[in-house]
Amino acid sequence: MTAITRAEVAHLATLARLELTERELDHYAEQLDVILQSVARVSEVATADIPATSHPLPLENVFRDDVAKPGLDRHEVLAMAPAHEDDRFRVPRILDEE
């Protein structure tokens, strides 16, 4: 017994604005049928006493404390740059716009 018919695949293709050939309709109907049967098998195995999970192991985010530290001295950094102007790095123009 098939879970999805060729006509249903054609309807889905119309909704998705896809043009499928007759051969593609048959092919996708077979593939979708296999997928739906697999999902049905998983649904049969699942039991009410097993809680739903997104991961097999518990996850816990570990974050370090956010500690402010002094940054680089602006004048020292600019002194090492090939070119600078108005406390900014000067780089070659890459666009022809003003």
**pLDDT digit string, tens, across residues 33-87:** 999 888 888 878 767 787 777 888 888 888 889 899 999 999 999 999 999 999 8
Q: Pairing state of beta strands 88-89 and 84-85? A: antiparallel
φ, ψ of residue 8 in degrees (nearest 5): -70, -35
* Rounded alpha-carbon distances, angstroms, from residue 54 to 10, 50, 57, 73: 33, 13, 9, 46
What is the predicted pLDDT for the residue at 81? 92
Q: Find the DSSP H helices in 1-98.
A: 6-15, 22-45, 74-80
**Backbone region of residue 87 per phi and psi (left: phi > 0; alpha: psi in -120 to 50; beta: other values):** left
The tens digit of pLDDT for each residue in 5-38 reads 899 999 999 999 999 999 999 999 999 999 988 8
d(CA 77, CA 87): 10
Set out the domains of the chain in order of their start, with CATH numbers.
6-45 (1.10.20)
Global confidence as pTM: 0.46
CA 42 to chain centre: 24
